[in-house]
Structure 1
Amino acid sequence: MYVINGHVIDGDRTGAQPVLAAAHAAGTRPRCMCHGADGVDMYIAKVSGRYLIKRMPGTGSTHDPLCSSYAPPPEVSGLAHVLGKAVKEQPGSTRITLGFPLTHHGRHTTAVADPDGDDIAGDPTKLTLRGLLHLLWDDAGFTRWTPGMLGKRNWATIRKYLLAAAEDKLTNRTPLINRLWVPETFNSDHKPEIIARRTATLSRMVGGGSRRLMLTVGEIKTITPTTSGAAVLFKHVPDYPFHLLDAVHARFAAGFGAELVLRANNPGAHLIGIATFGLRDDGEPEIEQIAAMTVNENWIPFDTPAEQ
């Protein structure tokens, strides 16, 4: 629950939108009451036409651990080394500096696996692919768990909150959401509409003098060897394989072998991939850089069988 101008509201209810809109216009800060009378300052953001109450930068650990706004201290979450450097939070937006390109001048590039699988040891002024995945996953709330979440996490939920987490991220003054495609949950009854929306999103790569790339985050279903490397098939996208050149496939297998083994040995686990990709001359998607992490049946990341 939150307090705005002395009134208690539930920010998730549709009826709260007029109150949040007025408070947003007036610059009024809600207070989260997870700790009782004192409360914790929040702010209101407008995301996709809706007003949302969000935690102030750097205050996640000041909330009650059972509060939806709680976040572990940066040194616990693994993000301490990039906060204030590659990741600069401010009310309303988060500026991020990426350690990989989303635009190329010229058509031909060399695809590679994310060379820095362990982003903790990387350059703190730049986010690796997996570092970006960790940031989005944490901001989406999928590093936390309460019993009330049981049975409520599925790909539709994952997609919704990943996109919401990307809404306030800016890279080189470009909204990250404009360069991110997260597959929709497959539904055969709505396949034409889903493909049309996918085509519209990926059309952002077409045109201009530079070669534009997109980001995708999805659950890897299969990686199948081909004559030129491999084909990656994400769940919910059965008609749209992503091509991997032989060199990037080999580096991915070497750099993320532990994640591949964890997924293979744990039937309830999911292998989440993040990749930059462009379109080949024949219109087929080709991955340029790729990284991965393993999550358990509740979609919480883990690195060893003991953590699951």
Structure 2
Amino acid sequence: MRRFRLADRVIEETSADLPDALAKAYRHRIRPLCLCREPGLAMYIAQVGDQYIVKRMPLSGSEHDAACPSYDAPDELSGLGVLLGSAIQVDPESGLSALKVGFSLTRVGARAMPVVGGNGADSVAGDTKKLSLRSLLHYLWHRAELTAWTSRWAGKRHWWNIRWHLLEAAQQMTVKGGMLNEVLFVPEPFRASDKAAIEQRRAVALAPALPPRSGPRKLMILLGEVKEVLPARTGHRLIVKHMPDFPFILDEGLHRRLQSRYENELALWGADNASHLMMIATFGLSPVGLANVEELGLMVVAENWVPYESAYEKKLIDALAKVNERSVKGLRYNLSADKPTAAAVLQREPLPLAFYIVPPSADEYYEEALRDLIALRPELGAWIWRPGEGEMPPLPSH
């Protein structure tokens, strides 16, 4: 059970007074402290409708006690660690993340050659100074805590709350001098009974992507689930779930590069009917109202919306989905596939457990880098699976 310090008061998470205390603290800009460790770790309060939720400060998860719900895997075990302080700069007071990105949010003149990024060859490949589109997707997913899972959440993660968490995370980020949530579009759940109102809200939200009378055209960022990609008379139409009547247009060159660069993600998605294919894309609206995609990235997620990048990771994610303890999936960001990362971290006492999957193609340099990575965090246990040598080992019992 968590305890928080609000100014000079200590209050338990289950206290009946907590909602009123958080509302008062929110109005007076009092930052709560999580007391899982003394003298307390700074948190912040997020408003959700008429409710108030205590959330951890960005990048502070590994500082919490392993038994605390706010605990998170150390950043250096994923591709996030090398981006901190360069591509991602976090203000310790406001909690805002200033993001440096390697893609454009404007377009001047004719359309440039579209870009596809992924599989260690992002639009800014292996860059530690800028985020690619796909690494932005990874960061949003992580900050929205959609990489976390416990079996207690089975059947409780749906698009409406996924969307809310993504938009709430975007409110804590800036990109190219503006707030990310002002250029990010995440479709709301579609309901036929509310079709007209949804379309009206969408038109208002997408207005910034309309072409101006003169000057550079502004682009927006779409984050949604791919439903299907269909041939069109010219190019292809990408249909996003919850937007059945609003196709996104891929020209022939972009579609061809998409098929090549994201061959693995498309194959994993096609192999499992319960998985979801997430897309992040920059796009603008043409003078006739068509949404033209400029650049995109893909990520495949399991039925519980936890990401994976191989059939081996999928097997691990499925096993962890049945575990009562909280696990956090590691993401690669800009790191290439020949750099080891922790596939996941299981939050348990007294020793959190990091899971490492060594690809069959790994060489001696990979193995050496893996040993160094494990040694970097001796306070974590290590579980290693080498698929080239046999089936997945059983998960350690508590």
Q: TM-score, normalising length from structure 1? A: 0.90
CA distance in structure 2 between the aligned counterparts of 1:211 and 1:200, rounded to whole angstroms: 17
**1:109 matched to which residue of 2?**
111
CA contact (8 A) 2:37 2:64 kept: no
RMSD: 2.5
**1:160 matched to which residue of 2?**
164
CA contact (8 A) 2:302 2:308 kept: yes
1:29 to 28, 31, 38: 31
1:151 to 143, 148, 155: 155
- 1:42 offset after TM fit, Å? 1.8
- 1:282 offset after TM fit, Å? 1.4
**1:184 matched to which residue of 2?**
188
| AA matched with 2:143 | D
Q: Deviations over 1:128-179 (max 9, x none)?
A: 0000000000000011111221111111111110111101111122001000
**1:271 matched to which residue of 2?**
277
Is 1:87 the counterpart of 2:88 in the alignment? yes
Stretch moving more, 296-305 or 37-46: 37-46
CA distance in structure 1 between the aligned counterparts of 2:242 and 2:271, rounded to whole angstroms: 22
CA contact (8 A) 2:58 2:143 kept: no
Q: Deviations over 1:3-28 (max 9, x none)?
A: 31223154999x75653354356554
CA distance in structure 2 between the aligned counterparts of 1:165 and 1:36, rounded to whole angstroms: 25
Question: Per the alignment, in what secondary structure is the counterpart of residue 81 of structure 1?
Answer: helix
CA distance in structure 2 between the aligned counterparts of 1:210 and 1:49, rounded to whole angstroms: 40
1:228 to 220, 227, 234: 234
Counting only pairs closer than 5 Å after superposition, residues 62-101 of structure 1 correspond to structure 2 as: 62-65=63-66, 67-90=68-91, 91-92=93-94, 93-101=96-104
CA distance in structure 2 between the aligned counterparts of 1:169 and 1:296, rounded to whole angstroms: 26
Is 1:60 the counterpart of 2:64 in the alignment? no
| AA matched with 1:216 | L
CA contact (8 A) 1:114 1:128 kept: no
**1:128 matched to which residue of 2?**
132
Stretch moving more, 109-118 or 40-49: 40-49
- 1:281 offset after TM fit, Å? 2.4
CA contact (8 A) 1:111 1:245 kept: no
The higher radius of gyration belongs to 2
Question: Per the alignment, in what secondary structure is the counterpart of residue 156 of structure 2?
Answer: coil
Stretch moving more, 20-29 or 217-226: 20-29
Counting only pairs closer than 5 Å after superposition, residues 271-290 of structure 1 correspond to structure 2 as: 271-290=277-296
CA distance in structure 1 between the aligned counterparts of 2:218 and 2:14, rounded to whole angstroms: 38
Counting only pairs closer than 5 Å after superposition, residues 36-47 of structure 1 correspond to structure 2 as: 39-44=40-45
CA 1:28–1:296 in 2, change beyond 3 Å: closer, same or farther?
A: same
- 1:116 offset after TM fit, Å? 4.8
CA contact (8 A) 2:106 2:216 kept: yes
Question: Per the alignment, in what secondary structure is the counterpart of residue 254 of structure 1?
Answer: helix
CA 1:66–1:136 in 2, change beyond 3 Å: closer, same or farther?
A: farther
CA 1:101–1:260 in 2, change beyond 3 Å: closer, same or farther?
A: same
Stretch moving more, 92-101 or 205-214: 205-214
| Percentage identity across paired residues of the two chains | 37
| Gaps in structure 2 of 5+ consecutive residues | 315-398
CA distance in structure 2 between the aligned counterparts of 1:12 and 1:222, rounded to whole angstroms: 47
2:225 to 205, 213, 219: 219
CA distance in structure 1 between the aligned counterparts of 2:73 and 2:267, rounded to whole angstroms: 28
CA 1:88–1:47 in 2, change beyond 3 Å: closer, same or farther?
A: farther
- 1:41 offset after TM fit, Å? 2.5
**1:20 matched to which residue of 2?**
22
CA distance in structure 1 between the aligned counterparts of 2:242 and 2:15, rounded to whole angstroms: 28
Stretch moving more, 204-213 or 44-53: 44-53
Question: Per the alignment, in what secondary structure is the counterpart of residue 71 of structure 1?
Answer: coil
CA contact (8 A) 2:236 2:251 kept: yes
Residues paired across the two proteins, number:
305
CA distance in structure 1 between the aligned counterparts of 2:221 and 2:313, rounded to whole angstroms: 28
CA distance in structure 2 between the aligned counterparts of 1:168 and 1:12, rounded to whole angstroms: 28
| Gaps in structure 1 of 5+ consecutive residues | none
Q: Deviations over 1:25-81 (max 9, x none)?
A: 655431224x36654222346688975533234311122456442221112232112
CA distance in structure 2 between the aligned counterparts of 1:139 and 1:304, rounded to whole angstroms: 22
